[in-house]
């Protein structure tokens, strides 16, 4: 049996965004704070939700809670 491995390769835009995060030396907490601020200040008009119905603000808060707890 041949084991197939799938490797995700980011496109150019995703690579650029990742390099900005590295260039600015942003931590995971920094990135989640930026996303949360961007979302709650209406920079994205639609409501983004996960499969459980949590919106992006709740997701950000949960991620920040977990990251701060593990400091």
Percentage with pLDDT > 70 across the chain: 82
Indicate the pLDDT class of residue 1, thresholds 50, 70 and 90.
very low
Full-model pTM:
0.67
Domain extents in the chain: 27-69
Q: Which of 38, 28, 17, 14 is CA-nearest to residue 62?
A: 28
C-alpha 10/C-alpha 68 separation (Å) is 28
- pLDDT (tens digit per residue) in 55-68: 999 999 999 999 99
3-state SS, residue 65: helix
Is the separation of the CB atoms in 36 and 64 below 8 Å?
A: yes
Query: Which range, 15-19, 37-41, 46-50, 67-71, has the best average confidence (pLDDT)?
Result: 37-41
CA distance 10 to 17: 10
Rounded Cα distance, 56 and 17, in Å: 19
């Amino acid at each position: 049996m041949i084991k197939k491995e799938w490797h995700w390769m980011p496109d150019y835009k995703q690579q650029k965004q990742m390099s900005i995060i590295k260039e600015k030396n942003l931590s995971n907490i920094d990135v989640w704070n930026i996303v949360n601020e961007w979302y709650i200040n209406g920079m994205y008009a639609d409501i983004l939700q996960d499969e459980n119905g949590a919106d992006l603000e709740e997701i950000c808060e949960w991620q920040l809670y977990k990251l701060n707890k593990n400091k």
